[in-house]
Amino acid sequence: MITYRCDGCGKELEQHALRYTVEIEVKAAYDKMQVGLLDLVRDHRAEMLRLIERLKHRDPKEIEESVYKRIHLDLCPNCQRAFNKNPLRFHPEQGLPAGEVDIDSFLRSIGVVQGPDEEESPER
């Protein structure tokens, strides 16, 4: 059986349950280039070597994400409504499912509180 998890609140969504998908593409914007004679005779090799030198110590993922990033979200109906209200300020807590929320389970899931059958770690 296929199940999905809401990327907003973490609620498990069954295969045929109502859910929403959000696709976001973040791309670097470029203006059209006008290529002139100076551009054609410029030393492109030296320019590429300078660029490689500038970028060689940066994280490849950071470089890639500075140009393009695709984000896919599965949302439950409550999180979808919260997202639609304010997509740029969407936070999971805005879309918590109606009804009782198990705070202890939530705190355990993010590692703040240990469950009753988990041992205390020596670092704490």
The encoded tokens of residue 51 equal 């660029």
Does the pLDDT of residue 101 top 60, yes or no?
Answer: no
Does the pLDDT of residue 93 top 50, yes or no?
Answer: yes
Q: Are strands 20-27 and 12-14 parallel, antiparallel or unpaired?
A: unpaired
Q: Is residue 64 part of a domain?
A: yes
Q: Is residue 114 part of a domain?
A: no
| pLDDT, tens digit, 9 for 90 and up, residues 26-81 | 998 888 888 888 888 888 898 899 989 988 888 988 888 888 999 999 999 999 99
62 or 92, which is more confident: 62
Q: How many structural domains are present in the chain?
A: 1
Is 0.85 topped by the overall pTM?
no
Length of the chain: 124
- Residues of the chain with pLDDT > 70: what percent? 72
**Residue span of the structural domain in which 58 resides:** 3-109
CA separation for the pair 39, 90 (Å, rounded) = 44
Q: Is residue 116 part of a domain?
A: no
**pLDDT recorded at residue 89:** 77
